[in-house]
C-alpha cells in the first residue's frame, strides 16, 4: 500500500482500537483529520496521516503505518 492509498473506516477502527460506529460519528462531525467520503460509493476512506480529534485537551491519535500485527 502506497502513502497515497486510503484505508476503510473498519480497518482504521481496528488500528486505533475504537468501534466503527463511533468513528463514523466522528467522520460525520469532521473530527477525523484525513477522512473523506467517497463520491460514488458514499463510504468513508481514511488517508494517512490520519488523526482523531477527541475532546478539548486530548492529543491527536495517529494510526500506525502498515497493518495490524
Q: Examine residue 47 and state whether it is found in any structural domain, yes or no.
A: yes
Q: Examine residue 34 and state whether it is found in any structural domain, yes or no.
A: yes
What confidence tens digit (pLDDT) does each residue in 6-46 have?
Answer: 999 999 999 999 999 999 999 999 999 999 999 999 999 99
Does the pTM surpass 0.75? The reply is: no
Q: Examine residue 51 and state whether it is found in any structural domain, yes or no.
A: yes
Q: Which of 42, 22, 23 is nearest to 34 (CA)?
A: 23
Q: Examine residue 37 and state whether it is found in any structural domain, yes or no.
A: yes
Are 27 and 35 a contacting pair, CB within 8 Å? yes
Q: Examine residue 67 and state whether it is found in any structural domain, yes or no.
A: no
* Domain limits for position 22: 7-62
Q: In the structure grid, which three cell numbers stand for residue 50, read together?
A: 490520519
- Separation CA 24–CA 57 (nearest Å): 21
Q: How many domains does the chain have?
A: 1
Q: Examine residue 57 and state whether it is found in any structural domain, yes or no.
A: yes
- Separation CA 33–CA 57 (nearest Å): 16
Looking at 1-69, which runs of residues are DSSP E strands? 7-8, 32-37, 44-52, 61-62
Mean pLDDT of all residues in 46-58: 78
Using the predicted structure, report yes or no on whether residue 67 has a pLDDT greater than 60.
Answer: no
Amino acid at each position: 500500500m502506497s502513502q497515497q492509498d486510503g484505508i476503510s473506516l473498519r480497518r482504521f477502527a481496528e488500528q486505533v482500537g475504537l468501534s466503527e460506529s463511533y468513528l463514523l460519528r466522528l467522520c460525520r462531525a469532521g473530527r477525523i483529520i484525513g477522512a473523506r467520503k467517497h463520491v460514488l460509493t458514499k463510504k468513508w476512506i481514511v488517508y494517512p496521516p490520519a488523526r482523531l480529534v477527541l475532546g478539548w485537551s486530548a492529543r491527536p491519535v495517529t494510526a500506525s503505518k502498515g497493518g495490524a500485527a
